[in-house]
Amino acid sequence: MRRLVLALLFAPGFTLAAALEGHVALVVDGKPLRAEEAADVVVYFRPAAATAVKPPAVPYEMGTKRKQFVPRVLPVVIGSQVRFPNQDPILHNAFSTSKDNAFDVGLYGSGEEQVVTFTHAGYVRVYCNVHHSMVGHILVLDTPYFTHPGADGKFTFADLPSGRGDLRRQVHLCRSAERARRSRDLARPRDTLACAGRARRNDCRRCHA
């Protein structure tokens, strides 16, 4: 039975009041996948104390290009707007039935765009009702501290707040996890977590999928 495994490793000697570096590695059947596969993982830190989240003045963008949503995975903060520009010479659509963030922008042509505001935290799966193979992923977060690993699987946070909090990651958005869901011979993706390093006694390091 094949399984998708994620290992998340932290650089030694960090504290939650400073920079945090780590590395994401995906493994199937005990064999590591290419490092760039981890680029679709979203890693984010959620402080225990409430943190003000301010959406950016400029909207995020998830375009349609060559019958694909680009970028394929897009993390945003609550209250953000997302532009859906059509960069193909054909008609497209963008819609979602995701709870609390459902929308449907209708059909729009080449060079046109639609804008959607996301007001609730959660996962939004985006489709095109013209091209059923098109799937995009938007993760609406209630924290401003999030990132993607680079092509080498490494990620960095700078100036995280002091105090308790959770470090989380979303791995089910990566391409290997999607292939596992579609294939009968693959088990449901799961992940493992390995942590190393020192933290102050008053800090809490909890890691979640």
Mean pLDDT of 157-182: 71
Which band of pLDDT confidence, cut at 50, 70 and 90, is reported for residue 153? confident
Q: Which amino acid makes up residue 104? A: D
Tell me the domains of the chain and their CATH numbers. Answer: 4-50+145-208 (no CATH), 60-141 (2.60.40.420)
Who wins on pLDDT, 101 or 150?
A: 101
pLDDT surpassing 90 at residue 136: yes
Who wins on pLDDT, 137 or 206?
A: 137
pLDDT surpassing 60 at residue 32: yes
